[in-house]
Structure 1
Amino acid sequence: MTDDIRPAFDDTDKSPGRPISLSSPILVGPERTLPPGYIHLGVAKEISPALRDFGIYPDSVIREAGLDPHLFDDGTNVIPHAALGRLLTLCVARTNCPHFGLLVGQRATILSLGMVGRLMQHSETLGDAVRALVSNLSIQNRGAVPSLTVIGDTALFAFSVYQPEAESADQISDGSLAVSVNALRALCGAGWNPVEVLLPRTVPADQEPYRLHFRAPVRFNQETAVVVFPARDLDHRIAGADPMVRALLEERIQQIKGAQGSALSDDIRRLLRIRLTSKRCSADDIADLLAMHRRTLSRRLKGSGMGYRAITNEIRFEIARQLLHDTEVPLGQIAAALGYSEASAFTRAFRRWSGQTPTAWRGEGHPG
């Protein structure tokens, strides 16, 4: 595999066409665009009460992350995904709690997922609900991407951060899976439990909070955040689902998605983040998924100033950074997950991207 193009990153927080202050909310609706890299607060709204549980006044921590505390009064307000990462990093430091993200996710409910959560409540089956989440979360979160895979009699719900330079990806993964399990229990009954949970983070000194919440074996140092459960559960019919409400919600979400539009490069990043470690991801494959000709894909990307290989390397570098920082996964395993035939090829590529070998970068403890 040849990787000759160094990823180009723009780490500034901005939306197309106009600057956006981190200290003011972005109003988002059918007439407004949720920019790539931004999220509705939703689950993150639980950060304030989680900090108060530790006796910490949340406003000062939120301001230190560059955000206005008033944003957290309304879960529909929007912040940059990068700012969420900075805030969680500060929260872990202030509370001295390495599983702070898990606590935030524990507090959240299916309604923390906004309109998508309501659509899940009124879906016919659990499978329909999970697929609704996978298909529509982008109207509320353009910093991470969920996926559902069924292999034989096993279902795997995965959640991956895909924004460059994302801090606290491990905390975001913890919280995302925690609220996902809450949502699944809301739909299947409080007694529902996964078969196991996989987390892309180092083994914590105290694993008990994870066992208590997930009520299932938890495996750490994994490549992706995954909830594993029986595929037959996807056929579970959801009590109280209203077809008329479902139709109204689906129509409203389609209106939002149509007005929101989508940057092609962001679509590609989302696809690559969930496919890069498990499937072939050539430009032809991605063009096919986007229902366009390979030449059309190249032409549109050229117009945006970034080629397919550069975007692929950006996502490869992001995954590598997260795994090097947040886990103890061996270099050979990371290389294989990213599609390299040898660890030495991955090492050469990583050196081009960062100026360091993966071992040196991991040893210096760079932020994830």
Structure 2
Amino acid sequence: MSLGKGVMSLDEDSLLIPASYSRIIARELNLQERELEPLLRGTGLPINILLPGDEAYITAQQQMRVLDNAQHILGSPEIGLRLGRQLQPSSHGPLGYLVLSSPDVITALESFADFLPLRLPLASVQVDLDEHYLTCILEIRVSAKPNVLRIMQECFALMIQAVVESVLGRELTEASIELQHARPSHSDCYGDYLHSAVHFSQTVNRVQMPAVLARKANASGHSDSYSLSQDHCCRLLEQIPVSAMSTTDQVRRLLLSHPAGSITEADVAREMFVSKRTLARRLAEEGSSYRTISEKLLSELAVRHLRESNFSIDAVAASLGYCDAAAFRKAFRRWYGQTPSQYRRDKLLMPIS
């Protein structure tokens, strides 16, 4: 049943969404463990669904209630912009790696459009290219309160912007962003989040940019290494139990769920809804530390790259989040007592443990 411009109703109980997006919302609100319950009010969901490592899914209606609750908790209509800013490609799990692996802008957008319904079936995106414009159009697939629809539309614009900018390696300033909702009271804030002109009360939700951007190459120069990193991380994730996880397991899972080097200890603590001090104390009680976990993971990923690819040392360093290969070589020598090149030469034919 059609519910208005760009909105299509489906069986909303059949649309399932990873709980990880609700964790992003809780993190953006800077909630601590004891403050999580109001975010889930009216959903019937337990608090542990927001804790790292829980791979549960929630329904579309539950997700929309979480969005509504988030706006009430923040006490400001700006929640859609703040949340959208957090939805970088890395926040979408395997979809994020696919986008980062894309050779050019249009491939990244098409990959995003193809796989978005698998992660966020609340909406779908259509990507079109003609001789003048590269266009992304949003279709919202559920009914929702006006403020929740506005949040979804703001998130759409910011997700498209993030995908394009991750490939271009710069701000997207030459697009035109059209949104169906009327100019909101917080419209003066849009320029702090969106880098192109925004138009309100439009007939569709659309981001349109010059067609010449479609074939702009991935600025990272190491797109293939992101794809391999995804495979490595997924295999390591499979080795971590999904229930009764220790704090060490939760930290390891969080690090594996993001491209290497994209999150810090403070980010991990926020995702676990605790302070850095509390995180450090809990890890110490398990005989571990954030640095120990991070270093061990990077060393594991490093040897997998060196054994399973012919990427240059520079490309391996970039895929692991190092700013330069010299820093990676120094770390690798500390881990294994030899350089990456020596390791690759000596261990290439040995099976992975």
Task: Verify: 1:61 aligned to 2:39, yes or no.
Answer: yes
One of 59, 63, 73 as aligned partner of 1:80: 59
Alignment-derived partner of residue 188 in structure 2:
208
Task: Verify: 1:112 aligned to 2:69, yes or no.
Answer: no
Displacement of 1:234 in angstroms is 1.1
**CA–CA distance in structure 2, aligned partners of residues 189 and 244 of structure 1:** 15
Secondary structure at the counterpart of residue 134 of structure 1:
helix
One of 95, 99, 112 as aligned partner of 1:133: 112
Secondary structure at the counterpart of residue 214 of structure 1:
coil
Task: Verify: 1:39 aligned to 2:17, yes or no.
Answer: yes
Structure 2 contact 18–58 (Cα < 8 Å) conserved:
yes
Between Structure 1 and Structure 2, whose CA radius of gyration is higher? 2
Amino acid at match of 2:210: P
Task: Verify: 1:121 aligned to 2:112, yes or no.
Answer: no
Q: What is the number of equivalent residue pairs in this alignment?
A: 220
Displacement of 1:193 in angstroms is 2.7
Amino acid at match of 1:245: S
Structure 1 contact 65–86 (Cα < 8 Å) conserved:
yes
**CA–CA distance in structure 1, aligned partners of residues 156 and 46 of structure 2:** 23
Task: Verify: 1:242 aligned to 2:224, yes or no.
Answer: yes
- Deviations for 1:316-348, whole angstroms, at most 9, x for unmatched residues? xxxxxxxxxxxxxxxxxxxxxxxxxxxxxxxxx
**CA–CA distance in structure 2, aligned partners of residues 122 and 165 of structure 1:** 34
Displacement of 1:43 in angstroms is 4.2
Displacement of 1:199 in angstroms is 1.4
Amino acid at match of 1:59: E
Alignment-derived partner of residue 254 in structure 2:
none
Displacement of 1:12 in angstroms is 6.9
One of 91, 112, 137 as aligned partner of 1:158: 137
Task: Verify: 1:217 aligned to 2:186, yes or no.
Answer: no
Structure 1: which 5+ runs fail to align?
Answer: 1-8, 14-35, 253-368
Q: In angstroms, what is the RMSD of aligned CA positions?
A: 3.1
Percent identity, aligned pairs only?
A: 16
- Normalising by structure 1, we get a TM-score of 0.53
Secondary structure at the counterpart of residue 65 of structure 2:
helix
Task: Verify: 1:97 aligned to 2:79, yes or no.
Answer: no
When residues 245 and 234 of structure 1 are mapped into structure 2, their CA distance, relative to the original with a 3 A threshold, is same
Displacement of 1:221 in angstroms is 1.2
Deviating above 6 A after TM superposition, structure 1's stretches of 4 or more consecutive aligned residues are: 9-12, 246-249
Structure 1 contact 146–157 (Cα < 8 Å) conserved:
yes
Displacement of 1:173 in angstroms is 1.7
When residues 193 and 68 of structure 1 are mapped into structure 2, their CA distance, relative to the original with a 3 A threshold, is farther
When residues 211 and 242 of structure 1 are mapped into structure 2, their CA distance, relative to the original with a 3 A threshold, is same
**CA–CA distance in structure 1, aligned partners of residues 209 and 95 of structure 2:** 21
Structure 2: which 5+ runs fail to align?
Answer: 1-8, 235-353
Displacement of 1:140 in angstroms is 1.6
Displacement of 1:192 in angstroms is 2.9
Displacement of 1:203 in angstroms is 0.7
One of 113, 138, 155 as aligned partner of 1:175: 155
Secondary structure at the counterpart of residue 160 of structure 1:
strand
Secondary structure at the counterpart of residue 58 of structure 2:
strand
When residues 53 and 218 of structure 1 are mapped into structure 2, their CA distance, relative to the original with a 3 A threshold, is farther
Displacement of 1:166 in angstroms is 6.6
**CA–CA distance in structure 2, aligned partners of residues 112 and 244 of structure 1:** 14
Secondary structure at the counterpart of residue 125 of structure 2:
strand
Displacement of 1:90 in angstroms is 2.0
Amino acid at match of 1:175: C
Structure 2 contact 171–195 (Cα < 8 Å) conserved:
no
Structure 2 contact 12–59 (Cα < 8 Å) conserved:
no
Write the mapping of 1:273-288 to structure 2, written as runs, cut at 5 A.
none
When residues 90 and 247 of structure 1 are mapped into structure 2, their CA distance, relative to the original with a 3 A threshold, is closer
Displacement of 1:42 in angstroms is 4.5
When residues 205 and 116 of structure 1 are mapped into structure 2, their CA distance, relative to the original with a 3 A threshold, is same
Amino acid at match of 1:51: L
Structure 2 contact 100–226 (Cα < 8 Å) conserved:
no
One of 70, 75, 84 as aligned partner of 2:48: 70
- Normalising by structure 2, we get a TM-score of 0.55
When residues 244 and 57 of structure 1 are mapped into structure 2, their CA distance, relative to the original with a 3 A threshold, is closer
Amino acid at match of 1:215: H
Alignment-derived partner of residue 128 in structure 2:
149
By relative contact order (CA 8 Å, sep 6+), the higher-ranking structure is 1
